[in-house]
């Protein structure tokens, strides 16, 4: 009877330990956020796959603007998301020092230090630079002799009613957006020449000839696929935009392994590869999860 009792007690203890372990595992919940364009769907997807592989239960919440994403992190509605160094520097901290914001290491160190005081930790930066860009159809740009934003400014000044621009509302308003471009390059565009739309639609509008120039992102796969050209930012207006996973400190203190889990994305994802991933989603219309999984497999990051 004593042996049976001891055996029963052991079973109870083992069961309790198992349940305790399950409870701990169940507590490894993370909310990974993302903004409202393709690259910001892919980066959280890559992160979530790697995190889930290491036992985390990840909830993806994507499709929001920059300000909402930032507030969601500060208010603990997101646990982490990929932010761009230039966005934090210019939009959240209202900084304008070109000597800082155009140098990857300088702007990263600046925002990392500033955010540390708010309980937000910047991990390893992904090295590609997804800066803003102004695009034109290559054939039209060549016809008009426009190679740079300076050329564009000169043309607009001489022909204010000729070109129509596709911009999203955020790019129109933010300090590192179009108003800042006009100030730096000394031209003014009549409001009636601006068509505001979501970022994804700017590429379509330009491709269909509904507009003459459009805002976009340097790593977007549609630039090459649609025959666009990026106008040279010859006055170095646009800041560096390296994406970086930003994590709430209390989350990282609880799960310090997050840094190592996400580091392979930073180490392996190049500008050219990001363009191809974006193209696979936007041009080839492949599911985000499949595109992310294929890239991870190509780098032997899936166990």
**Facing residues of 247 across strands?**
80, 121
Angle at 128 between CA 245 and CA 237, to 5 degrees: 100
Task: At 33, give phi and psi (nearest 5°).
Answer: -95, 170
| Model confidence, pTM | 0.77
Tell me the percentage of the chain whose pLDDT exceeds 90.
Answer: 80
**pLDDT number for residue 95:** 93
pLDDT of 189 strictly over 50: yes
Distances (CA, A) of 278 to 60, 144, 223, 273: 18, 29, 10, 9
46-78 pLDDT, tens per residue? 999 999 999 999 999 999 999 999 999 999 999
Tens-place pLDDT, residues 240-280: 999 999 999 999 999 999 999 999 999 999 988 998 999 99
* Residue 224 confidence (pLDDT): 86
What does the alpha-carbon distance between residue 8 and residue 28 come to, in Å, rounded to a whole number? 31
pLDDT bin (cut points 50, 70, 90) of residue 9 is: very low
Q: Are 85 and 107 in contact (CB under 8 A)?
A: yes
> Could you give the CA distance from residue 224 to residue 222 in angstroms, rounded to a whole number?
6
Contact indicator for 123, 259 with CB cutoff of 8 Å? yes
Give me the domains of the chain, ranges plus CATH numbers.
8-129+242-298 (3.40.190.10), 132-230 (3.40.190.120)
Distance CA 138, CA 140 (A): 6
Tokens standing for residue 128 = 């590609």
Position 200 confidence tier, pLDDT thresholds 50, 70, 90? confident
Tokens matching residue 33: 């956020």
Residue listed under structure tokens 């990840």: 58
* Torsion sign over Cα 148, 150, 151, 153: positive
pLDDT over threshold 50, residue 118: yes
User: What pLDDT shows up at residue 155?
Assistant: 98
pLDDT in tens, 206-236: 999 999 999 998 889 999 899 999 999 999 8
Average pLDDT over residues 108-134: 96
């Amino acid at each position: 009877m004593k042996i049976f009792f001891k055996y029963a007690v052991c079973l109870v203890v083992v069961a309790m330990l198992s349940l305790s372990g399950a409870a701990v595992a169940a507590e490894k919940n993370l909310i990974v956020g993302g903004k409202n364009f393709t690259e910001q769907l892919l980066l959280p997807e890559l992160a979530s796959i790697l995190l889930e592989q290491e036992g985390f239960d990840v909830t993806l919440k994507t499709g929001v603007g920059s300000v909402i994403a930032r507030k969601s992190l500060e208010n603990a509605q997101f646990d982490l998301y990929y932010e761009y160094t230039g966005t934090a520097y210019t939009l959240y901290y209202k900084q304008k020092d070109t000597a800082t914001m155009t140098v990857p290491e300088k702007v990263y160190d600046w925002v990392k230090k500033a955010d540390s005081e708010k309980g937000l930790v910047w991990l390893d930066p992904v090295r590609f630079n997804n800066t803003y860009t102004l695009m034109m159809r290559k054939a039209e740009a060549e016809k008009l002799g426009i190679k740079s934003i300076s050329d564009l400014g000169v043309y607009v000044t001489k022909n204010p009613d000729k070109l129509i621009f596709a911009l999203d509302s955020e790019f129109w308003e933010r300090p590192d957006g179009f108003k800042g471009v006009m100030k730096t390059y000394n031209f003014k565009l009549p409001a009636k020449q601006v068509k505001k739309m979501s970022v994804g639609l700017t590429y379509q509008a330009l491709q269909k000839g509904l507009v003459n120039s459009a805002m976009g992102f340097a790593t977007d796969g549609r630039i090459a696929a649609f025959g666009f050209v990026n106008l040279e930012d010859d006055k170095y207006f646009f800041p560096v935009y390296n994406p970086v996973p930003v994590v709430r400190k209390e989350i990282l203190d609880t799960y310090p392994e997050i840094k190592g889990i996400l580091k392979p994305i930073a180490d392996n994802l190049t500008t050219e590869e990001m363009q191809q991933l974006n193209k696979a989603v936007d041009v080839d219309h492949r599911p985000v999860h499949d595109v992310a999984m294929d890239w991870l497999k190509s780098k032997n990051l899936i166990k």
